């Protein structure tokens, strides 16, 4: 079966081109203004009426909660939510029960991802046993079982010796070491950023240095070992500056920033509301400005959602007792397009797409993130001109824990294709 995407605006090689796009056997066969000679009576023609055709988005940081926490999310619901947001490739963190920290568990997780996922799901293996101890693991075995990188996301690696040994092992295997950076000795029971807002609300704060001090340690270890060291969800100006300096000195470091840290700061927290509890927390206006600057000058390499679904019971009420994290797969593109591209004009549309597709694919070596004849037909089609409201009833994730619900935005997903196969289509459409 052939599919013709007709009259789209295709983002290809850095340009927005009014083009048709022909798909067959899961691959992009042709692009051009007139592909009529390639169309037969059996071709499925989809009229796009000027909608944007982008490469499928790539998210290197999601939490799918299965096995162990399926009341929050499953692989099926999480991947459907990602498809709803225009994602075609995601990378699933290993904070599960059981943790994928052996070759056997990684193999089982990879198989489950392939069976239940509607999009392409890459699996992280753990850095240490159970994500908590200093016990190193069978990294070669986990790679052979299907892990593409190692991470303890949700937990910082607390000792330098453990991180050094893990980096050496990852380097030997040519694998990225992906770090949640957090020094537990500097947390002091904090639940939001240790700033003016925490004082106003009477809540314990999380110091920015709990993040940046561990990044400083790890950058020196990365220099020593030569590993590809990737920093999850940077949130402070000191973290950005350290990574900028490390890149200038040739250290093999990349990093990501989350949509919520690009759109909010601590002053946007209206009250002691669990929906605003995230780790790392929303920081100061100065930190927010540094994240934007880092994104613009290339210090920050990509945008990742840190999609973290929880049950409503786990997120309502006092920030002292609610869980850390918010969802992001279904809202990321529309929020960032609306606020950073359309309203504030901080980014071009092409730059935003690159940060959410091409850049993560290139940095992690995935065959994704670009549109060209011969590429896999992993595509996201968005409506840029029609305003709509983010509603809980429309989310496909089991988690509705996002403070952005109710916002009016642009950039709604119209259609998502993986290997040419529809995995999300806007309700009521063909």
Q: Which sequence positions are flagged as catalytic?
A: 306
Q: Let me know if 364 is exposed, middle or buried by CB neighbors in 10 A (0-12, 13-18, 19+).
A: buried
3-state secondary structure (DSSP) of residue 392: helix
Q: How far apart are CA 299 and CA 316, in angstroms?
A: 35
> How many other C-beta atoms can be found within 10 angstroms of the C-beta atom of residue 74?
21
Report phi then psi at 208, rounded to 5: -60, -30
Per the DSSP assignment, residues forming a β-bridge with 409 are 388
CA torsion sign, 340 to 326 to 241 to 288? Answer: positive
Whether residue 314 is preceded by a cis peptide bond, meaning omega within 30 degrees of 0, is: no
> How many other C-beta atoms can be found within 10 angstroms of the C-beta atom of residue 17?
15
User: Across 240-323, where does the E strand assignment appear?
Assistant: 253-257, 302-303
Nearest to 3 by CA among 37, 38, 52, 32: 38
Residue 29, CA atoms < 13 Å, CB-side half-sphere: 16
Report phi then psi at 103, rounded to 5: -55, -40
Per the DSSP assignment, residues forming a β-bridge with 376 are 27
Taken as a whole, the chain contains a residue count of 430
């Amino acid at each position: 079966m052939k599919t013709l995407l007709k009259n789209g605006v295709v983002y290809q090689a850095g340009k927005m081109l009014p083009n048709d796009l022909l798909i067959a056997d899961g691959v992009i066969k042709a692009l051009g203004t007139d592909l009529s000679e390639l169309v037969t009576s059996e071709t499925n023609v989809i009229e796009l009426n000027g909608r944007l055709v982008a490469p499928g988005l790539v998210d290197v940081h999601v939490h799918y909660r299965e096995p162990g926490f399926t009341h929050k999310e499953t692989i099926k619901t999480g991947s459907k939510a990602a498809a709803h947001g225009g994602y075609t490739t995601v990378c699933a963190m290993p904070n599960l029960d059981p943790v994928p920290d052996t070759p056997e568990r990684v193999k089982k997780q990879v198989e489950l991802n392939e069976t239940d996922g509607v999009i392409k799901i890459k699996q992280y293996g753990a850095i240490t046993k159970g994500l908590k101890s200093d016990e190193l693991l069978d990294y070669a075995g986990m790679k052979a079982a299907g892990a593409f990188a190692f991470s303890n996301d949700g937990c910082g690696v607390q000792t330098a010796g453990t991180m050094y040994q893990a980096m050496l092992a990852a380097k030997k295997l040519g694998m990225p070491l992906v770090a949640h950076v957090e020094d537990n000795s500097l947390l002091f029971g904090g639940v939001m950023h240790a700033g003016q807002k925490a004082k106003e609300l009477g809540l314990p704060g999380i110091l920015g240095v709990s993040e940046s001090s561990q990044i400083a340690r790890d950058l020196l270890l990365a220099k020593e070992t030569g590993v590809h060291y990737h920093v999850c969800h940077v949130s402070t100006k000191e973290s950005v500056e350290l990574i900028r300096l490390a890149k200038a000195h040739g250290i093999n470091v990349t990093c990501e920033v989350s949509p919520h840290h690009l759109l909010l700061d601590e002053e946007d927290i209206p009250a002691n509301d669990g929906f605003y509890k995230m780790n790392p927390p929303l920081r100061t206006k100065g930190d927010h400005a540094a994240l934007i600057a880092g994104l613009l000058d290339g210090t920050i390499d990509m945008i990742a959602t840190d999609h973290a679904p929880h049950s409503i019971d786990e997120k309502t009420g006092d920030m002292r007792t609610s869980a850390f994290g918010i969802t992001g797969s279904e809202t990321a593109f529309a929020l960032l397009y609306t606020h950073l591209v359309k309203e504030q004009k901080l980014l071009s549309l092409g730059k935003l797409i690159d940060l959410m597709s091409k850049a993560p694919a290139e940095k992690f070596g995935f065959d994704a993130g670009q549109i060209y004849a011969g590429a896999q037909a992993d595509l996201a089609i968005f409506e840029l001109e029609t305003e709509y409201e983010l509603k809980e009833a429309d989310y496909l994730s089991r988690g509705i824990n996002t403070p952005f619900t109710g916002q009016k935005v642009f950039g709604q997903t119209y259609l998502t294709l993986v290997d040419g196969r529809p995995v999300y289509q806007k309700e009521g459409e063909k």
